[in-house]
Amino acid sequence: MVIVMEKHATDDAIERVVAVLSSRGFDVHRSTGSEQTVLGIVGRVDTIDTREFELYDGVQEVVRVSEPFKLTSRTWRREKTIVKARGVDIGGEQVVVMAGPCTIESETQLFETAKRVARSGARVLRGGAYKPRTSPYAFQGMGVEGLKLLRAAGDEFDMATISEVMEISQIEKMLEYVDILQVGARNMQNFNLLAALGQIRKPILLKRGMAATIQEWLLAAEYIMAGGNYEIILCERGIRTFETYTRNTLDISAIPVVEKLSHLPIIADPSHAVGRRDKVMPLARAIVAAGGDGLLIEVHHEPEKAVCDGPQSLYPDQFARLMDELKIIVPAVGRRI
Amino acid sequence: MERIDAEAELTRLRDAIDRVDDVLVKLLNQRAKYAIEIGEIKGHLALPIYAPEREKEVLAHVETTSQGPLAGGAVRRLFERIIDESRRVERESATR
């Protein structure tokens, strides 16, 4: 950590900062310039709240040099993590596409959609059984009955399954039916849920909160890893910006940024990011081109009849066309699909 | 100066610097030994390791002692690093 003192900060001001740090056992390297003094702090600086020192007289800036996240960091593990879910490797050479309906509505809907996306090359079947709906009056999901259907459809079409977990009490039931547990954007900082997911040994897909910085997102993953569960897939799904034409703004730059900062696989969800079917395909192409390890896409066999997120769900034919396009793009970035 | 002569001179000066460094390291270690003893006493008397007034005295002393060619500011900056390390060894010996 580096503390930059203001130009012409008094000796008293500098000494006060050095005294506090020294009394707490930190080594301080003082460097006096012609106008400005800089203090280099060595030790367990992650225990320091930088705001405390920003408030001292004469302090201009406190800069953290090291990242606050540890287990999620590339410094901790240089090689990329490959998450394994029922024979599907996420984070390896292959780009993995996860697809399916937003919400599991019925056996017909789920199986019809699963059959079509599996035929086009999706390896993981998505489907919500517990739904975090913005309105309490909207359909809240089929619950365990939905999970059973998801498992059956996954087995039928040889796909791994993914579904969202909303609270701790649902975890145990989900382990029976689901291969990847998804933490939604609204729960990204539900630290009790994250800690509980750290105790299980199943892959977690952690969506980025709609107002979360990349650092906050990685710290959320850190909560899960701190419990000993290292099987985490990060998923960018768009952040809130001032733009209203799209539902959210897909932060495509998060993909190369996370790739550099962390060893965890990173995928993206163009459906929630843009919220409009006609914009999903170009974003999906961009995600893969930017180095994403996979995609999470909403597909419904009859989107106009969907109880949830119909307007952003692709028709199965559109999904098939997208997969054909990806087969051209993916080899160009040195991966396979 | 011929190139050959210049190269020989460069080698001689570098050897001279190496010999000065040998002495410097010995002296720095001698200084550190005193710091360790001071740390032990500070630990015994429960005095703070960081003594800003004393550090000021040390810096003022070396700054005025220097007769060049290093400017006073340069000597001060070098000694800030020496003092940083002294503080560290004092803390280690005080908590031992």
Q: Do residues A72 and A62 lie in contact, with contact meaning Cβ atoms separated by under 8 Å?
A: no
| Residues forming beta bridges with residue A295, ordered by sequence position | A97, A268
Core vs surface per residue A57-67: b (16+ CB within 10 A) or e: ebbeebeeeeb
Q: Do residues A126 and A98 lie in contact, with contact meaning Cβ atoms separated by under 8 Å?
A: yes
Residues A104 and A42 in one domain: no
Would you say residue A245 lies in a domain? yes
Q: Which residue of A has its CA nearest to B56?
A: A11
Residues A162 and A24 in one domain: no
| ipTM computed for the complex | 0.73
Q: Which residue of B has its CA nearest to A13?
A: B52
Would you place residue B53 in the very low, low, confident or very high pLDDT band (cuts 50, 70, 90)? very high
Q: Which of A60-69, A125-134, B4-13, B79-88 has the lowest mean pLDDT?
A: A60-69
A30 and B88 within 8 Å at the Cβ level: the answer is no
Which pLDDT belongs to residue A137? Answer: 83
Residues A309 and A163 in one domain: yes
Q: Do residues A214 and A254 lie in contact, with contact meaning Cβ atoms separated by under 8 Å?
A: yes
B1 or A233, higher pLDDT = A233
Would you say residue A184 lies in a domain? yes
Provide the 8-state DSSP code for A187. Answer: G
Task: Report how far residue A235's alpha carbon sits from residue A268's, in angstroms, rounded to the nearest whole number.
Answer: 5
Q: Which residue of B has its CA nearest to A32?
A: B77
Phi first, then psi, for residue A58 (nearest 5°) are: 85, -5
Would you say residue A95 lies in a domain? yes
Contacts 24+ apart (CB under 8 A), A158-161: A158/A118, A159/A114, A159/A118, A159/A122, A159/A123, A159/A124, A159/A125, A160/A85, A160/A86, A160/A87, A160/A88, A160/A123, A160/A124, A160/A125, A161/A86, A161/A124, A161/A125, A161/A126, A161/A127
Tell me the shortest Cα–Cα distance from B81 to chain A, in angstroms: 7
| Ordered per-residue pLDDT tens for chain A, 337 residues | 889 999 989 989 999 999 999 888 888 888 887 788 999 888 888 888 889 999 999 999 998 877 778 889 988 888 899 999 999 999 999 999 999 999 999 999 999 999 999 999 999 999 999 987 778 888 888 999 999 999 999 999 999 999 999 999 999 999 999 999 999 999 999 999 999 999 999 999 999 999 999 999 999 999 999 888 999 999 999 999 999 999 999 999 999 999 999 999 999 999 999 988 999 999 999 999 999 999 999 999 999 999 888 899 999 999 999 999 999 999 999 999 9
Would you say residue A118 lies in a domain? yes
Q: Which residue of B has its CA nearest to A26?
A: B88
Please give the tally of structural domains in chain A.
Answer: 2
Is A13 in CB contact (< 8 Å) with chain B?
no
- H/E stretch holding A234: strand A232-236
The SS3 call for residue A84 is strand
Residues A105 and A198 in one domain: yes
Task: Report how far residue A141's alpha carbon sits from residue A130's, in angstroms, rounded to the nearest whole number.
Answer: 5
Residues A172 and A230 in one domain: yes
The reply to whether the predicted model has a pTM over 0.80 is no
Q: Which residue of B has its CA nearest to A11?
A: B52
Domain that holds residue A147: 83-332
Above 80 in pLDDT, residue B1?
Answer: no
Query: How distant, in Å, are the alpha carbons of A6, A129, A180, A239, A308 from that of A102?
Result: 54, 9, 15, 19, 6
Residues A92 and A57 in one domain: no
Residues A122 and A28 in one domain: no
Find chain A residues with C-beta within 8 A of B94's C-beta: none
Find chain A residues with C-beta within 8 A of B72's C-beta: none
Cα A141 versus chain centre, distance: 23
Burial of A192 (0-12, 13-18, 19+ CB in 10 A): exposed
Residues A134 and A24 in one domain: no
Which pLDDT belongs to residue A64? Answer: 84
CATH architecture of B3-94: Up-down Bundle (1.20)
Find chain B residues with C-beta within 8 A of A27's C-beta: 84, 87-88, 91
Interface test with B, best of A16, A24, A30 (most B CBs within 10 A): A30
Residues A52 and A106 in one domain: no
Residues A143 and A203 in one domain: yes
Which pLDDT belongs to residue A148? Answer: 96
Q: What CATH code is carried by the domain that includes residue A47?
A: 3.30.70.1140
Residues A300 and A227 in one domain: yes
Residue ranges of chain B whose CB lies within 8 Å of a chain A CB: 48-50, 52, 56, 73, 76-77, 80-81, 83-84, 87-88, 91
Which residue is it, tokens 């707490």? A24
Q: Do residues A35 and A7 lie in contact, with contact meaning Cβ atoms separated by under 8 Å?
A: yes
Tell me the shortest Cα–Cα distance from B15 to chain A, in angstroms: 30
Which pLDDT belongs to residue A45? Answer: 82
DSSP symbols for A244-298? -SSSSB--TTHHHHHHHHBSS-EEE-HHHHH--HHHHHHHHHHHHHTT-SEEEEE
B52 and A34 within 8 Å at the Cβ level: the answer is no
Which pLDDT belongs to residue A309? Answer: 86
Which pLDDT belongs to residue A150? Answer: 97
Residue A318 structure tokens: 């559109």
Tell me the shortest Cα–Cα distance from B14 to chain A, in angstroms: 28
A29 and B88 within 8 Å at the Cβ level: the answer is no
Which pLDDT belongs to residue A32? Answer: 82
Above 80 in pLDDT, residue B96?
Answer: no
End-to-end CA distance of chain A: 43
Q: What CATH code is carried by the domain that includes residue A207?
A: 3.20.20.70
Residues A200 and A295 in one domain: yes
